Amino acid sequence: MAKYISPEAFKRIQDFEEEFFLIDTRPEADFNEWHVKDAINFPFGASDDTTEEDISKFTTREGIKYDDLIVTICAKGVTSFKFAKELEDMGYGEVVTVEGGMEAWSGVYDVVPIATSGEDVVIIQMQRRAKGCLGYLVGSKRSGVAAAIDVSRYTDKFVEAASKHGLKIAQVFDTHVHADHISGGRSMAKRLNVPYHLGNKAVERSPEFDFSPLANNQVIKVGEIPVKALHTPGHTTEMTSYLIDGEAVITGDSLFLDSIGRTELEFNAEDAKTGASLQYESLSNKLLSLPERVKVLPGHFTVKEDGSTLNAIPGTPLFSTIGSVRESNEALQMDEDSFVEYMFDNLPSKPPNYEDIIALNLGRRELAGDGEAIELELGPNRCATSEEPMLAE
């Protein structure tokens, strides 16, 4: 019998089933813009006049057999469920639909501990699988408190993960004003009645909310764990990385494992070179000056429009070290002039709705509701300066 499964159950199918067919019933244009890895498209509407013969031709062409596991998905899980019932009526025996569709899939997380050498420090990487966004929980075992960093609007995911690791969130940080997703940092801090931190340069962007500013090199304690704010402007003017107990640095959108953060989302054309120069200085003089053993914990990994990931396996720890990225990332081997030029020769398309998302994250407007939030965030992140990895040969 055709039935709904949760997005989390679909994640388990992705990870552990050797063979299944994923059929995306959205219109072709929506499918091409963004879909789950290995999905095949069969557009099917709520009032569709598709015949059984049309479906049979499609399943024959794709090699789908009557006893195969079939998963259907659409935007919200409505038309894909109708299509699943059509398949069931035709004799296909194991057909399930992802409840909530792509909208729900966008909120699925992998919760991955990062190994640490310090006995007291806990670092948990929150991997938003569909968008490639990474957030973090940094906690102290002895005190049982944690900081949440770069929280998405799915704040419950962070609270639940902290609780499962015996931690209570006592502080919330954002590395910067995000352009690709709606931050849940302020709402979480308000809900938990805890401080909300940004780098103090955020004042210059005139946010319409209060926050606890962090100066460059300021150290704040999470329990007994020192967190040092490192101003690393470039992606944005207020971009701030966080050095955790001297052994890991959360780099936000300054430095990724296989690329670097783009700089033209905040800086206009007139100031674009200024942004790129700031990025070069932040990378060269701040991040790369850290000891080579320090772990690099980025704000994103690359998810392409076809749902595939580059140099990342979701569900596994995603990090490198300062020494490794220095050797592997070709951007970090350029002189400043070459770096600035490269930044504007390889830009991908801008994140969808980024101006609206920035306005929301600066507190300049309010969401109309969950529906608008889902619509604004659909699609992978596009915060890197290049669609392809910047790895040296």
Average confidence score pLDDT of the chain: 93
Indicate whether 279 belongs to any domain: yes
d(CA 19, CA 69): 8
Here the CATH number for the domain that contains residue 25 is 3.40.250.10
Q: Looking at the structure, tell me whether residues 73 and 142 fall in a common domain.
A: no
Domain limits at 304? 106-377
- Backbone φ and ψ for 226, nearest 5 degrees, come out as -80, 130
Which residue from 112, 144, 110, 149 is spatially nearest to 244, judged by alpha carbons? 149
pLDDT tens, the chain, 393 aa long: 789 999 999 999 999 988 999 999 999 999 998 899 999 999 998 677 899 999 999 999 999 999 999 999 999 999 999 999 999 999 999 999 999 999 999 999 999 999 999 899 999 999 999 999 999 999 999 999 999 999 999 999 999 999 999 999 999 999 999 999 999 999 999 999 999 999 999 999 999 999 999 999 999 999 999 999 999 999 999 999 999 999 999 999 999 998 899 888 787 666 777 888 999 999 999 999 999 999 999 999 988 888 888 888 999 999 999 999 999 998 899 999 999 888 877 766 777 789 999 999 999 999 888 788 888 887 777 887 766 666 654
If one counts the domains in the chain, the total is 2
3-state secondary structure at position 355? helix
Indicate whether 212 belongs to any domain: yes
Which residue from 115, 188, 121, 119 is spatially nearest to 158, judged by alpha carbons? 188
Q: Over the range 23-58, which residues count as b (16 or more CB within 10 Å of their CB) and which as e?
A: bbbbeeebbeebbbeebebbbbeeeeeeeeeebeeb
383 among known catalytic residues: no
Indicate whether 90 belongs to any domain: yes
Predicted model pTM: 0.94
Q: Looking at the structure, tell me whether residues 50 and 178 fall in a common domain.
A: no
CA distances from 260 to 138, 164, 330, 384 (A): 23, 33, 10, 6
Indicate whether 388 belongs to any domain: no
Two tokens, residue 94: 């194991």
Here the CATH number for the domain that contains residue 207 is 3.60.15.10
Which residue from 64, 72, 65, 69 is spatially nearest to 26, judged by alpha carbons? 72
Q: Looking at the structure, tell me whether residues 201 and 247 fall in a common domain.
A: yes
Indicate whether 387 belongs to any domain: no
How confident is the model over 187-246, as pLDDT tens digits?
999 999 999 999 999 999 999 999 999 999 999 999 999 999 999 999 999 999 999 999
d(CA 164, CA 113): 12
Q: Looking at the structure, tell me whether residues 96 and 115 fall in a common domain.
A: no
d(CA 193, CA 210): 13
Q: Looking at the structure, tell me whether residues 36 and 174 fall in a common domain.
A: no
Degrees to nearest 5, angle at CA 300 with 294 and 303: 135
Which one is catalytic: 74, 122, 170, 383?
A: 74
DSSP 8-class letter at 284: I
End of a domain among 104, 139, 162?
104
